[in-house]
Structure 1
Amino acid sequence: MRKTHYMTFRNFLHKPSSKPSTKPRPFTAYSFVPFSPFAMLDPTILTIGGIVLGIAFIEQILNRWGVIDLADQFEKVMRFILPVTFYGALFYFFATFMF
């Protein structure tokens, strides 16, 4: 049988409790995004992306200047290079990324 502990109202208001009423539980937080978007600012990926964008920009300039034959050659090369570069950069990013 438990022993009842009596306390006056004045002591109840001015005296702190001897033990906390609830125990703190460990809280684990999970993130749905396992990496920071700033991780994509890798110099290698930025360099490869800049080169590809530069070649695409040169192709558009050649189209405007009327050098259609040379622009067509650029397009044929870029049709192969763009997917290879994209998947290569994606593979490089996940291979060098530290989880």
Structure 2
Amino acid sequence: YSFVPFSPVAMLDPTILTLGGIVLGIAIIERILERWGVIDLVDQFEKVMRFILPVTFYGALFYFFATFMF
């Protein structure tokens, strides 16, 4: 018996899944553009993603712990 109930289903929060899906979609688009040879646009995506990925990760982590009931 655990005094701190924890379920892995709690990580299936729609907000976190949406943010993860958006970031994953942008990464897939970046790889497709790289395969097509549009390197200038890929460089722009890389500059934006270098900022968005950490902000999204820490924001989702903060949101998860702020809404998770211990």
What's the TM-score, normalizing by structure 1? Answer: 0.66
Q: Which runs of 4+ in 1 moved over 2 A?
A: 30-34
Shift of 1:98: 1.1
State the structure with more CA Rg: 1
RMSD, aligned CA: 1.6
d(CA) in 2 for partners of 1:98 and 1:55? 31
Q: Secondary structure at the match of 1:77?
A: helix
Question: For the residues of structure 2 that align with 1:51 and 1:33, how far apart are their CA atoms?
Answer: 32
Structure with greater helix share of residues: 2
Q: Could you say what secondary structure the match of 2:3 adopts?
A: coil
TM-score, L = length of structure 2: 0.92
Q: Deviations over 1:35-88 (max 9, x none)?
A: 211100000000000000000000000000000000010001001100110000
Larger RCO: 1 or 2 (CA < 8 Å, sep 6+) = 2
| Count of aligned pairs between the two proteins | 70
Percent of aligned pairs sharing the same letter:
91
Task: Give the distance between the partners of 1:77 and 1:52, measured in 2 at CA.
Answer: 11
Q: Give distance in 2, aligned partners of 1:67 and 1:33.
A: 50
Q: Does 1:94 align with 2:56?
A: no
Q: Which runs of 5+ in 2 are unaligned?
A: none
- Residue 31 of structure 1 and its aligned partner are, at CA, apart by 3.4
What SS class does the counterpart of residue 85 from structure 1 fall into? helix
Structure 1 spans left out of the alignment, 5+ residues: 1-29
